[in-house]
Amino acid sequence: MIAAFEGVSGTSVAVWVIATLLAAGIAWSRYEKKKTRDNFLRELIAMDPARREKLLSRLRSDVQNEVRRQLMERGVG
């Protein structure tokens, strides 16, 4: 079994481990961002329209447009 890994250096293993951890961290970050965005949208949907518009008006214009688009996709004007 050890003979199969004879040509693999410690540096190669370290690089692969670091790359795997980095990829897992990026995936986890994207998952958390999506989960947070979904929770935010659920809270916006539950709000009355006047309060929702007041909150949306405080966001950056690009984020505001994205949130409005997602709300329209979910059937909330």
Residue 8 lies in a domain: no
Phi-psi region of 35 (alpha: psi -120 to 50; beta: other; left: phi over 0): alpha
The rounded distance, in Å, linking the Cα atoms of 3 and 67 is 56
Higher pLDDT, 76 or 29: 29
- Parent domain of 64: 34-77
**pLDDT of 2 strictly over 70:** no
Residue 9 lies in a domain: no
List, for residues 24-56, the tens digit of each pLDDT value.
Answer: 999 999 999 999 999 999 999 999 999 999 999
Residue 61 lies in a domain: yes
List, for residues 52-68, the tens digit of each pLDDT value.
Answer: 999 999 999 999 999 99
Q: Return the closest-CA partner of residue 47 out of 76, 27, 5.
A: 76
Question: What is the count of structural domains for the chain?
Answer: 1
**Local structure of residue 75 (DSSP, 8 states):** T
Residue 73 lies in a domain: yes
∠ CA 27-30-13, rounded to 5° = 20
